[in-house]
Amino acid sequence: MPTYRYQVQNNAGQTVVGVVNSASAASAADTLRTQGNRVLALNPVQSPGAGKSFGEKFRELNSGKPTLKHVLDFTTQLSVMVRAGIGLRTALDGIADQTDHARFKQIILGLKSDVESGKQFSEALTRHPKLFNPLYVNMVRASEMSGSFGKMLNRIAAYTSQQIETKKMVIGAMIYPGVIATMATGVTVFLLVFVLPKFGAVFAGKEDALPWATKFLMSLSDFMVAQWPLLVGVLFSSLVAIFLVLKTEIGSFWFDTAKLTVPIVRKMFRALYISRSLQTMGELINAGVPMLDTLAITGDVSGNRLFKRLWRGVYSSVKQGRKIASTLEKSDLLPKAVVQMVSAGEESGKLGEVLDEVSDFYGKQLRDAIKAVTGMIEPLMIIIMGSIVGFIAMAIILPIFKMSQIVR
């Protein structure tokens, strides 16, 4: 059924805007008049795919999903426009016109339509939970009640920007080891599959004189060349199995535990989750979000199931009237110094300020940990790659050297 955007004047003389679904413009106007309104404007709302060519629809389908970067740009622009005194509906309309991403543009126009129909902006955001998480929605809701909408959007933009930078740092720290590991695997497979078989004729009939390393590599090479379809199938099945296991509750819990226990990366991930949890909690408390909602959201956005379980425990404890620090003391996920500072913040009534300072400290700890991880993994991966390639090279060279001596 078509949708129409209307502007009417009600019995009290007030101008009201909104949307209505009706079979035609005439029936929509009749519906509005029967409610005692005088129709000032009535325009059809074009559906997302209406009036578009096949090429436009194809580009829209392949434009990809909106990302956190789109949300950051949207929030920053909206913050500037609202603080400049521009109305919310006008601001949303202007941002939509400047947005190149087709899907995100439709989302912004949907937000505008919801606001025009009388919904709160925070309520409209809840229709897109994958883009606007509970932290975003609750901070907006708190600002709507306190009248600090523009300032709160600026704080949300700053928080989102920092989360994006943190994510980039962590991913960047993991990319280099991944590239080195991929290169090492590729070089090893190339030597075993394409190089070693060429020496088969050279070593034929001299198997008893070959060292054990050469025999092992030649057998491995023959197996890989003969059974490569089986190996590819096993590798693909293993990757799919690992992916599916990590999607399960048990698999993801095991992976989250491993990130906090593997010696090389545990310091980095611990600093990441502590910084993210405390920063989120501090932002929500300073925004005026109720404590129970704050604790629930903190657990959801922490990014690790062990920390999520910790904050759920704190939620249950606070719900029963206990202090936050009393539950945190029983866990080894947070350092004792952090728990003491949280306790001091609770006692002084300045918990939000304390959490901001602690999260800043652990943000610096995270950056130092990322540098340390990169510094340790880089030489380690080079040593491993060099050892593998060197072992294969020596296994080939030594027999040739021995045979050349025998010929002499």
Amino acid identity, position 325: A
Tell me the two tokens of residue 25: 């413009």
Measure the CA–CA gap between 346 and 276, rounded to whole angstroms: 19
Residue 347 region, left (φ>0) first, then alpha (ψ -120 to 50), else beta? Answer: alpha
Mean pLDDT of 111-140: 88
d(CA 6, CA 25): 10
Return all residues near 35 (Cβ < 8 A) that are at least 6 apart.
Answer: none
CB 65 within 8 A of CB 103: yes
pLDDT of residue 234 exceeding 80: yes
Q: pLDDT of 182-196, one tens digit each?
A: 888 888 888 888 888
Averaged pLDDT, 125-138: 88
Over residues 356-396, the pLDDT tens digits come to: 888 888 888 888 888 888 778 778 878 888 888 888 888 88
* pTM confidence score: 0.71
The mean pLDDT value of the chain amounts to 83
Q: Which residues pair with 354 in a beta bridge?
A: none
